[in-house]
């Protein structure tokens, strides 16, 4: 190993330890975080060959197989359901189809699950920020059914309830309503999974989405009517879940109806001085994507991965840049981040990819880098344990080695921009770069991106004091 790499290992080890200690010390300073909008139930089932074959036979094997190569992209019958599952297995592809039919929904519920987990970005982040970081967290739950409420861990996690016009905060379990179960049925299969003559080339999952609420970014009345009073209770807000928006809906409404409501809530957050982060997720519809870029102007911060940044460059950059970003070419990513900042004026852009993170900010301070390091520990802890429950699991991630593949990138950035300890002073902007910790055989990768972005955003705010 190069002598300079040994030094880098030592340097980053020290930076990681310091960042962990500093950040955990200051997290209690955060008065409150608001998380909106998507929360749901993830029902995970590990597919069983015999059970699946029997069910396919019951529905009619020929009918199901006929649909495998004619994907309907939605589920309105049992034939389509099983064709979707088999197609996902056949190609080893992650797929998510919306379940339109109530009888199919009843069938899915009857079929059952092996595990239930809180789902949706807001829901996942609530269990992290409230449950692990112990930060008072207000979460938007489109529906507060009993099954879902019980998936929130204990801790300062709240839903707002208005009683005689007075705002009260309750743990979801203390505010259960007879409302709908918003279930995302996740059918997982391992590589090599065999069913009939189909064999999975890789592990993956098929999701049958039986959730009308998050699909439309439904907002509860409390949030529509009393948003200001909820927002007054927090320092920070993290918004997510807008990626599902469609251009038009059958009832004549459009995505703009949702976005205008979100915008008025952002105006309130901005008037109150609440810093807001938008967690991007791949947004299939280009018209919606373009409007999301315009809306970034109202946010303080945005978090995205290489696929998402590339998809924005197709709109505000060019195809070459988009392609380079997609391959996480570090100089292209930096150009793209600058372009996105020029275009939107947003103060902070946090890019995450496999192996490194970067944050471009319109302010400076080592705190930005330290928050990224803390986030990388949280991500590695999550990958190691599958689910984070205790701060100590994040500390354990200190023992995972730092990604040495990022070291040549560090050398290149030091040479090109005079980066020091992961920080580049760009006069009116600062760029922070951190090599992350990669867990070789992760227990689960669901929700790691949300863990990374929310940890860094909240951590940075606490560190900046
Ligand atoms: N094995 C792993 N160890 C550590 N971090 C990982 C591992 N696998 C993935 N990650 C991190 O998780 C991030 C996933 O975020 P993202 O692509 O936004 O997906 P999602 O939002 O669905 O979780 C990657 O960018 C990478 O930084
Ligand atoms: Mg993500």
* 206 within 8 A of 223, measured Cβ to Cβ: no
Pocket test for ligand 1, best of 448, 450, 451, 456 (most atoms within 8 A of CB): 448
3-state secondary structure the chain: CCHHHHHHHHHHHHHHHHHHHHHHHHHHHCCCEEEEECCEEEEEEECCHHHHHHHHHHHCHHHHHHHHCCCCCEECCHHHHHHHHHHHHHHCCCEEEEECCHHHHHHHHHHCCCEEEEECHHHHHHHHHCCCCCCCEEECCCCCCHHHHCCCCCCCEEEEEEECCEEEEECHHHCCCCCCCCEEEEEEECCCCEECCEECCCCEEEEEEECCCHHHCCCCHHHHHCHHHHHCCCCEEEEECHHHCCCECCCCCEHHHHHHHHHHHHHHHHHHCCEEEEECCCCCCHHHHHHHHHHHHHCCEEEECHHHHHHHHHHHCCHHHHHHHHCCCHHHHHHHHHHHHHHHCCCEEEEEECCEEEEEECCCCHHHHHHHHHHHHHHHHHHHHCCCCCHHHHHHHHHCCECHHHHHHHHHHHHHHCCECCEEEECCEEEEEEECECCCCCCCCCCHHHHHHHHHHHHHHHHHC
Q: What is the pLDDT along the chain (465 residues), one digit of tens a residue?
A: 788 899 999 999 999 999 999 999 999 999 999 999 999 999 999 999 999 999 999 999 999 999 999 999 999 999 999 999 999 999 999 999 999 999 999 999 999 999 999 999 999 999 999 999 999 999 999 999 999 999 999 999 999 999 998 999 999 999 999 999 999 999 999 999 999 999 999 989 999 999 999 999 999 999 999 999 999 999 999 999 999 999 999 899 999 999 999 999 999 999 999 999 999 999 999 999 999 999 999 999 999 999 999 999 999 999 999 999 999 999 999 999 999 999 999 999 999 999 999 999 999 999 999 999 999 999 999 999 999 999 999 999 999 999 999 999 999 999 999 999 999 999 999 999 999 999 998 888 888 999 999 999 999 999 998
38 token code pair: 């998507």
C-alpha separations of 33 from 122, 222, 451 in Å: 11, 17, 14
If 0-12 CB within 10 Å is exposed, 13-18 middle and 19+ buried, where does residue 440 land?
exposed
For residues 250 and 275, membership in a common domain is answered with yes
11 token code pair: 């340097």
What distance in Å separates the CA atoms of residue 438 and residue 384, rounded to the nearest whole number? 9
Q: Which candidate, 450, 447, 407, 297, places its Cα nearest to that of 1?
A: 407
* 363 within 8 A of 347, measured Cβ to Cβ: yes
Structural domain total, the chain: 2
Angle subtended by helix axes 61-68 and 78-91, to nearest 10: 50
* Known catalytic membership, residue 450: yes
Residues annotated in a binding site for ADP: 305, 352-353, 439, 449
For residues 321 and 371, membership in a common domain is answered with yes
For residues 187 and 275, membership in a common domain is answered with no
For residues 25 and 75, membership in a common domain is answered with no
- What pLDDT, on a 0 to 100 scale, did the predictor assign at position 167? 96
Q: Can you give the CATH number for the domain in which 137 is found?
A: 3.40.1190.20
Last residue of a domain, one of 158, 189, 210: 210
For residues 149 and 106, membership in a common domain is answered with no
For residues 366 and 426, membership in a common domain is answered with yes
State pTM to two decimals. 0.95
For residues 272 and 193, membership in a common domain is answered with no
Look at the alpha carbons of 300, 304, 309, 311 in this order and tell me if their dihedral is positive or negative.
negative
Last residue of a domain, one of 157, 191, 210: 210
For residues 187 and 309, membership in a common domain is answered with no
For residues 161 and 80, membership in a common domain is answered with no
Of all protein residues, the one whose alpha carbon is nearest to atom 26 of ligand 1 is: 354
Of all protein residues, the one whose alpha carbon is nearest to atom 1 of ligand 1 is: 439
**Ligand 2 centroid to 14 CA: how many Å?**
28
- What pLDDT, on a 0 to 100 scale, did the predictor assign at position 260? 96
What distance in Å separates the CA atoms of residue 295 and residue 207, rounded to the nearest whole number? 29
What distance in Å separates the CA atoms of residue 24 and residue 31, rounded to the nearest whole number? 15
Strand-pair category, 74-75 with 95-99: parallel
**Ligand 2 centroid to 453 CA: how many Å?**
8
- What pLDDT, on a 0 to 100 scale, did the predictor assign at position 118? 97
Pocket, ligand 1, Cβ cutoff 6 A:
305, 352-354, 379-380, 383, 436, 438-439, 442, 445, 447-450, 452
398 token code pair: 């200190």
- What pLDDT, on a 0 to 100 scale, did the predictor assign at position 445? 81
For residues 355 and 411, membership in a common domain is answered with yes
If 0-12 CB within 10 Å is exposed, 13-18 middle and 19+ buried, where does residue 256 land?
middle
For residues 277 and 237, membership in a common domain is answered with yes
For residues 107 and 237, membership in a common domain is answered with no
User: Structural domain of residue 203, as residue ranges?
Assistant: 42-117+181-210
How many angstroms from the chain centroid is the CA of residue 27?
Answer: 21
Q: Can you give the CATH number for the domain in which 89 is found?
A: 3.30.1110.20
**Ligand 2 centroid to 24 CA: how many Å?**
24
């Amino acid at each position: 190993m190069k002598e300079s790499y040994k030094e880098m290992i030592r340097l980053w080890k020290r930076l990681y330890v310091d960042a962990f200690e500093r950040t955990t010390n200051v997290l209690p300073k955060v008065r409150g975080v608001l998380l909106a909008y998507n929360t749901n139930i993830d029902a995970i089932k590990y597919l069983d060959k015999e059970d699946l074959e029997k069910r396919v036979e019951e529905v009619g094997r020929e009918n199901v197989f006929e649909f495998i190569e004619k994907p309907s992209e939605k589920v309105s019958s049992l034939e389509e359901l099983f064709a979707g599952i088999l197609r996902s297995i056949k190609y080893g592809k992650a797929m998510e189809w919306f379940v339109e039919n109530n009888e199919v929904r009843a069938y899915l519920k009857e079929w059952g699950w092996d595990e239930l987990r809180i789902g949706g970005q807001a829901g996942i982040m609530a269990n992290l920020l409230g449950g692990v970081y112990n930060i008072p967290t207000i979460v938007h739950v489109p529906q507060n059914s009993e099954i879902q409420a019980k998936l929130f861990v204990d801790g300062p996690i709240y839903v707002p309830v208005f009683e005689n016009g007075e705002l009260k905060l309750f743990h979801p379990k203390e505010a259960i309503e007879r409302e709908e179960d918003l279930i995302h049925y996740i059918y997982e299969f391992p590589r090599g999974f065999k069913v009939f003559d189909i064999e999975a080339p890789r592990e993956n999952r098929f999701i049958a989405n039986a959730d009308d609420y998050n699909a439309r970014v439904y907002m509860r009345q409390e949030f529509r009517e009393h948003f200001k009073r909820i927002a007054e209770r927090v320092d920070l807000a993290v918004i997510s879940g807008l990626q599902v928006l469609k251009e038009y809906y059958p009832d004549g409404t459009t995505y703009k109806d949702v976005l205008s409501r979100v915008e008025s809530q952002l105006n309130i957050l901005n008037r109150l001085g609440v810093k807001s982060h938008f967690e991007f997720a791949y947004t299939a519809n280009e018209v919606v994507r373009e409007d999301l870029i315009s809306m970034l102007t109202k946010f303080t911060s945005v978090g995205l991965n290489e696929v998402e940044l590339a998809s924005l460059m197709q709109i505000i950059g060019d195809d070459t840049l988009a392609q380079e970003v997609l391959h996480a070419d570090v100089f292209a990513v930096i150009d793209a981040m600058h372009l996105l900042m020029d275009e939107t004026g947003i103060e902070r852009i946090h890019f995450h990819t496999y192996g490194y993170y970067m944050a471009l900010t319109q302010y400076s301070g080592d705190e930005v880098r330290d928050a990224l390091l803390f986030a990388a520990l949280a991500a590695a802890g999550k990958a190691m344990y599958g689910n984070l429950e205790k701060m100590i699991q994040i500390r354990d991630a200190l023992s995972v080695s730092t990604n040495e593949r990022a070291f040549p990138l560090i050398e290149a950035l030091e040479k090109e921009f005079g980066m020091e300890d992961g920080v580049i002073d760009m006069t009116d902007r600062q760029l922070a770069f951190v090599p992350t910790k990669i867990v070789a055989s992760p227990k689960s990768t669901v929700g790691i991106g949300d863990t990374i972005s929310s940890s860094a955003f909240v951590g940075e705010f606490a560190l900046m004091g």
